[in-house]
Amino acid sequence: MPAETVVLLPGTASDEVFVRSVFAEPLSQVGAVFTAPRVRTLSERLTALENAFQGHPIVVGGVSLGAHVAATWAVRNPDRCAGLILALPAWSGAPHRAPAALAAKVSAGVVRDEGLATALSGTTGWLHDELSRAWHGYGDQLVPHLEEASESLAPTLDELKTLKVPTGIVGCTDDPVHPIDVARAWADAIPRAVLVTTTLDAYPRALGRAVQAWQQARQELS
């Protein structure tokens, strides 16, 4: 049986370095061929999935906004998708006042009006290190991307119900920016989804548990 091709996308203003740090090891343990493309805009995320498809269905996914884009692509391309690996979906359908959307919009305003250093001053530890590297990497694209992400559409629950592929989802029980209720709603909507949970104390590597959830979903289909 050939190895699965897996393409995973970063979240809002995150990058491929973070995605690789979380998912490379668990995916290597299951023999997957893993790619984390360098993308900045929403359109670049979608284009990366289009370019990754080479005639055989692929496994797609990502973190937060990356999960939204991947699931949207899967809804639009059911014959091209072999599975989903999703971490921390942040909303369904329109963002309305979803915490992650509000956070992106506020961050855009602070970066634009007060500068990157001020925007990063409220973060600590691994999150500060990750955001500092990734946000500097976006350069002049950072504010426009934060704004477009804050207004972007995720798949609706009705759209998610059309997905027939094995899906692994990881949600966090105490992350106020990515409410666990959203992950549970996605898992309930996708017919062949397995949900695993983590806590903020286990971030960020615990997000890789979505790979094990995907494997469990595959086994339940066999």
User: What is the three-state SS of 96-134?
Assistant: CCCHHHHHHHHHHHHHHHHCHHHHHCCCCHHHHHHHHHH
pLDDT band at 222 (very low <50, low <70, confident <90, very high): low
- Residue 192's pLDDT is 97
Half-sphere exposure of 173 (CA within 13 A, CB side): 7
Decide if 72 contacts 178 (C-beta within 8 A): no
Residues 158-176: tens digit of each pLDDT: 999 999 999 999 999 999 9
In Å, what is the CA distance from 61 to each residue of 45, 111, 119, 175? 11, 28, 28, 20
Following CA atoms 208, 211, 217, 220 in sequence, which dihedral angle do they give, to the nearest 10 degrees?
-110
> Which residues are bridge partners to 171 per DSSP?
197
Please tell me the predicted confidence (pLDDT) of residue 42: 97
Helix and strand numbers, DSSP H then E, in the chain? 10, 6
User: With 70 as the cut, is the pLDDT of residue 52 above it?
Assistant: yes
Contacts of 24 (CB under 8 A, 6+ apart): 34, 36
Q: What is the pLDDT of residue 122?
A: 84
CA 74 – CA 141 distance, rounded (Å): 26
Summary mean pLDDT of the chain: 96
- Say if residue 2's pLDDT is above 80: no
C-alpha to C-alpha distance for 30 and 1, rounded to whole angstroms: 12
- Across the range 28-40, mean pLDDT stands at 97
Section 151-162 average pLDDT: 98
Given this model, what pLDDT does residue 1 score?
55
Percentage of residues of the chain with pLDDT beyond 90:
96
Q: Is the pLDDT of residue 221 over 70?
A: no
Q: Where are the alpha helices (DSSP H) in 115-208?
A: 116-120, 125-138, 142-150, 157-160, 180-189
pTM for the whole thing?
A: 0.97
Domains and CATH numbers, the chain: 5-93+154-221 (3.40.50.1820), 99-148 (no CATH)
Neighbour tally for 216: CB within 10 Å? 14
User: What is the per-residue pLDDT for 205?
Assistant: 92
The radius of gyration computed from the CA coordinates of the chain, to the nearest angstrom, equals: 16
